[in-house]
Amino acid sequence: MLFNNNHIAVDWDKNDIRILNFRKEGSGKVKVLHAVQTEIPSEISTDNADQFGEFLSRTIRSHDISTTSVIFMVGRERAFLHQLAIPASPEGEVANLVRFQLAQELPFAIEESTIDYIVTAHNDAGAVIGVLAAAVQTEYIDFLRHLARSAGLTLKRVGLRSYGNFMAVKTADYLDGGLYLFADLGLSGLEIDILSKEGGLVYSRSAGLSDEKVLATPLKQVFLEQAILQVKRTLHAQAYLAGTPDSRPRSIIVSGCTGWEREFLDAICNELNLSGKVFELPNNASVENSSAFIAGYGIACAQYRPRQEHFDFLVPKKAIDPQAVRTRQIRLAVAVVAAIMILAAILTHSKVSEKEKELKQLNARSREMDKELVAFRKFVHQTGKVNEWGTRKVNWLDEIKSLTQLLPGTEKMYVKHMFLTESPSGEYRAEITLEGQAKSRQIIDQLAKTLSDTGRYEVVPGPQITLQGDDYPENFKLNLKVSKADGEGTPTTGPASELSKDQKTTPSKMNKSEV
């Protein structure tokens, strides 16, 4: 099947041309889009490819047919047709056998011919034992190629007109069991076939209409008489048709483009004592004189059949070389392996790309988290420092308050300097140095003892100097190491308490102290 689903089938004789534009429907049936029958002007020669091609192109354009895909057909008068019985053979070897047998019978050189065939019979093992072979002079196929180029068309196939007739009546269900006589009428000649639903195109011949009768005789009458005569000659010439009643045609099918098909059918049925029908395109009641397009319709139906079921003289079937088959299979296998490898590489590359993308995203996220970690560590460090400061920092206001509660009143001593220092070693919390003057040395010793007894302070006395002529002659220095938490060990009774009360009653006397 061709990829393009819209084609035209062109059929002609010396008098008129018939163009059938068709496509395949989704249901598998052929749908007729345009059916054009027109008379060929007398000045146009159908044997001149350039002249006839230009006329064909004008006709197609004038009827709004858009496709340029064309199928031509070879009339029976130009084809050598032969039923062949061949030794049981695989389909790949049939073409050589057909050429060998036809070479003995062709009226022209086989080298100058184009040969195609359809398979008509197989044995029980599936091997081919019968074919219908046809040969056409290559010169005429070249003419059809030239004609398509001149008309601006793309030639897709060259079929056999007789086989198109068979495909049309078969597709339209005109055939039942037995043989059927078929006649396709044209003003310049007619085609006569013997058809069978099972056997296909059993026999086919073309017949020209002579000018033996006087021209004054009405044309229709002359035509009908000569057409009936040719049909009777066909039947009498075929001895096998007269052998038994079963071999006689059971009915006749008539088609044509003359307009006299109904009169011919009535006359031939009366002459041969047969029943019959005039062919009409199925499902195309709107097509006028639809039997004129029977060959084109049959060619259209064959277009969508498997290749071995229709003729194509443009690309005929050829013998298959086993070595070429093996080479093709090897190449195909290599191509399949290469395709798989390429597909695998593409998939792998795709996966790697995805993973690389994910890795980049993860790396970017890692860098962001590293930055956050640095900030977090700094924060933790700062928090630790704050916590450490909170656990180690001395509340000097509480310390001074606790200390002043232990100092005697200013009538006994006063503090000139107080030095406060946190301990860096962690052995004690802080160090306080007191420098001042007292009334007597006993007062200083009593203060040192009071501070030591609290258990809070480790007292280290400094140098003491006695000054003469001063109300506070004893100059002292005490180093206090604070070893317990704030507020612990503060005495509430004893001398220290009394000193503390004195201190509380005279807080203004601390004005000489420096902190």
- Residue by residue, pLDDT tens for the chain (515 residues) are 445 689 999 999 988 999 999 998 877 788 899 999 999 999 999 999 999 999 999 999 999 998 999 999 999 999 999 998 889 998 888 998 999 889 888 888 899 999 999 998 899 998 999 999 999 999 999 999 999 999 999 999 999 999 999 999 999 999 988 889 999 998 888 999 999 888 889 889 988 865 544 344 567 888 888 899 998 888 877 654 544 456 778 899 999 998 899 999 999 999 989 899 999 998 876 788 889 999 999 999 998 888 888 899 999 998 766 666 677 778 888 888 888 888 888 888 888 888 888 888 888 888 888 888 888 888 888 887 766 655 656 788 888 888 888 999 889 998 989 988 887 666 788 889 999 999 999 999 999 999 999 888 888 998 888 888 788 999 999 998 888 554 444 443 334 334 333 433 333 334 333 33
The b-or-e profile of 134-148 (16+ CB within 10 A means b, else e) is bbbbbebbebbebbb
Of the three residues 279, 309, 344, the one that is the final residue of a domain is 279
The torsion region of residue 259 among left (phi > 0), alpha (psi -120 to 50) and beta comes to: left
Q: What is the CATH number of the domain that holds 498?
A: 3.30.1360.100
457 located within any domain? yes
**Closest Cα partner for 140 from 191, 203, 73?**
73
* Max intra-chain CA distance, the chain: 183
SS3 (DSSP) at 513: coil
333 located within any domain? no
Query: Cα separation of 433 and 443, whole Å?
Result: 17
161, burial (CB in 10 Å: exposed 0-12, middle 13-18, buried 19+): buried
Of the three residues 254, 279, 304, the one that is the final residue of a domain is 279
Strands (E), 164-289: 179-186, 189-196, 200-208, 251-256, 275-278
Residue 77, φ and ψ in degrees, nearest 5: -70, -15
Of the three residues 256, 279, 302, the one that is the final residue of a domain is 279
Confirm if 74 and 140 have CB atoms less than 8 A apart.
yes
117 and 127 assigned to the same domain = yes
Confirm if 84 and 119 have CB atoms less than 8 A apart.
no
Residue with tokens 């209409």: 209
419 and 454 assigned to the same domain = yes
The angle at the Cα of 262, spanning 256 to 266, to the nearest 5 degrees, equals: 125
Packed helices 261-272 and 219-237: angle between N→C axes, nearest 10 degrees: 40
184 and 233 assigned to the same domain = yes
Total count of domains within the chain: 3
Query: Cα separation of 476 and 435, whole Å?
Result: 6
154 and 193 assigned to the same domain = no
Q: What is the pLDDT of residue 392?
A: 58
236 and 298 assigned to the same domain = no
Query: Cα separation of 428 and 493, whole Å?
Result: 26
124 and 39 assigned to the same domain = yes
Whether the model clears a pTM of 0.85, i.e. scores above it, the answer is no
Q: What is the CATH number of the domain that holds 273?
A: 3.30.420.40
Helix, strand and coil content of the chain, in percent to the nearest 5, comes to 45, 25, 30
Q: Report the run of H or E that residue 459 belongs to, with start and end.
A: strand 457-461
155 and 183 assigned to the same domain = no
252 located within any domain? yes
108 and 152 assigned to the same domain = yes
Confirm if 108 and 44 have CB atoms less than 8 A apart.
no
SS3 (DSSP) at 63: coil
328 located within any domain? no
Confirm if 11 and 295 have CB atoms less than 8 A apart.
yes
Half-sphere exposure of 154 (CA within 13 A, CB side): 9
Q: What is the pLDDT of residue 393?
A: 66
Query: Cα separation of 19 and 269, whole Å?
Result: 30
**Closest Cα partner for 73 from 6, 132, 136?**
136
- Which residues are within 8 A (CB) of 148 and not within 5 positions of it... i.e. 6 or more apart? 53, 70, 72, 154, 155
**Which residues constitute the domain of residue 132?**
1-172+293-320
151 and 3 assigned to the same domain = yes
388 located within any domain? no
- The pairing of strands 16-24 and 30-39 is antiparallel
97 and 145 assigned to the same domain = yes
- Which residues are within 8 A (CB) of 282 and not within 5 positions of it... i.e. 6 or more apart? 171, 172, 173
Query: Cα separation of 220 and 232, whole Å?
Result: 18
126 and 184 assigned to the same domain = no
303 and 248 assigned to the same domain = no
* Cα dihedral: 52, 57, 61, 66 (round 10): 140
Q: Report the run of H or E that residue 260 belongs to, with start and end.
A: none
Q: What is the CATH number of the domain that holds 167?
A: 3.30.420.380
Q: Which residues pair with residue 419 across a beta bridge?
A: 433
* Cα dihedral: 358, 363, 367, 370 (round 10): 100
Token digits for 455?
A: 């258990």
215 located within any domain? yes
Packed helices 441-453 and 495-505: angle between N→C axes, nearest 10 degrees: 110
- Which residues are within 8 A (CB) of 250 and not within 5 positions of it... i.e. 6 or more apart? 176, 178, 179, 180, 274, 275
53 located within any domain? yes
Q: What is the pLDDT of residue 430?
A: 86
Query: Cα separation of 7 and 182, whole Å?
Result: 26
Query: Cα separation of 61 and 56, whole Å?
Result: 9
Residue 328, φ and ψ in degrees, nearest 5: -65, -40
89, burial (CB in 10 Å: exposed 0-12, middle 13-18, buried 19+): middle
